[in-house]
Structure 1
Amino acid sequence: MMLALLIASLSLPHGLPAGAILHGEERRGAVLVRLEGAPALSWQACAAACGYHEACQAWTHSAYQNRCTLHAAPLTPRPFPGAVTGLSPSLAARIERSSERPPSAREREALQGHAPAQPTFSRALSETAQDQLFPER
């Protein structure tokens, strides 16, 4: 298994979308497991270990602590010298696929700058209530 992780780590960075791997950043919280040994040798091995763990959504490799942390959720990264963090290959692929789809009718309307329609109510509101809810009228 360790040999498979190391071999897989050699080809991992290719094909990942920009921003899937961040150097000098870490993620905290939602820890699935902390790995020592071979997965902690490099960030590539840590990323490969995340790819093999079904519940892993993100990972963080700390060179100073020689530790690989697999995360259950891709929480917002924050600056941390010597660390590398990234998304799981499956999550990065889902994000990449979603960016390639055409926008929906609602998204096209928003992109064209059309204002959304005023909400409709099942019963009439008094003019005072309407003025309070929609002061821009």
Structure 2
Amino acid sequence: MKCGRYLLIFILIGIFSKTYAQNQDLKKLQQAFGNERFNYLQSHHPDSLEYYKFVCENGFRITDKKYAKPEEISKASLISLPESCFKSGKIDISSINIFLLPVEFLPNENHSYSIEGTDYLLILHSKDYLQRKFSSKPH
């Protein structure tokens, strides 16, 4: 019986965290696109909104330069993240709104950015990679 309670609690925590993350992504999109465009997408193109949410969650990764490929470092452009993207001096990935940053998703290759004042890279996945990943995920 105790095992069943723990399982139920674990499942509920999983559901609530996923819902919270999705709501955060919607807030990021609303902030980036503005209310009018966001509402238009929500009512006329919900599939596009789902794709943009996917990009919020999966469009980039942060990596320590010591683990990066040499070409990722040599090709990296410099980018400055807003202070809101840092908590206790560390990068808070969940606070990054990729649509508000001056970045460019390339069609067929990843694009690296050296994060100013850190030893980290922000690596944008290519548009092609994101399309393939989005198409393969269960909807």
- Answer yes or no: same fold by TM over 0.5: no
Shorter-chain TM-score tier: 0.3 to 0.5
TM-score of the aligned structures, taking structure 2 as reference length: 0.32
The structure carrying a bigger strand percent of its residues is 1
TM-score of the aligned structures, taking structure 1 as reference length: 0.33
